[in-house]
Amino acid sequence: MDGKSKPGVPYGGMTDTWVKKHRPIYIGATRHPFILSIRDGTVDLSAFKRWLVSKPHAINVGQDYIFVRAFVPFVASVLIRAYKKGDESSGDMEVILSGLGSLNDEIAWFKQEASKRGVDLSQVAPEKPTQHYCRFLEELMRPEVDYTVAMAAFWAIEAVYQESFAHCLEEGSKTPPELQEACQRWGNDGFGHYCSSLRNIADRQLEKAASGSVPLVKVSEDVVSKAEVTFLRVLEYEVDFWNMSCGTAGHSAAPKP
């Protein structure tokens, strides 16, 4: 997808500008070599199992489980901001609420996969990229963080996974049958439409800020700038997360909190 709009979902807002402006890092996050190896069928299945969950590493189910548990209160904080500052006529709250159930399902799935492989998730220690990413989420929950900034991060976090795994399901892909279920979990069209809705909210908020429709134009410009920096940080953390998942973590590209 490469950040392009889906049929019937018109993009062209500020997020589109960001994706084009920062295309190398965006492609790095959504077309990581690990994802490309799944799509073209050359992935080492033992590496994928390590990414999914394995002893002693428990990389993805363990690390992603830790991340998603930290992600839930972040989403809750965005929901509160939507209640206070969102567009009621556009149903910001309803869109965000619609995704909470899937997070519950995701946590249950992680527990199920870990149980299959005899991994005790309570004993999994967070790797450094996970620690940094979770700390970043905590930063975004601070009261002084604007709804627009938090919304931009929310969209970007969800979109990276969706676009990555949707790429593995596209026509012409050679994704191994045994990996289809995991790819379908995050790459399905329903999740794609949800991400599109989040993107529309982010674009609408960014447009308001850019137009100076809030009392202080200076503050508005600052919000847009902070939102773009936050978008970039998400992409950098995502690349680090992929590197960790496939065992290639050597340095962290993301700025440390």
Catalytic positions are 238
Q: Are 3 and 20 in contact, with CB atoms under 8 Å apart?
A: yes
| The token pair that represents 36 in the structure block | 């490309």
Q: Are 99 and 194 in contact, with CB atoms under 8 Å apart?
A: yes
Question: How many CA within 13 A on the CB side of residue 136?
Answer: 25
Nearest to 25 by CA among 230, 232, 199: 232
| The token pair that represents 198 in the structure block | 């989040």
What element of type H or E holds 233? helix 217-245
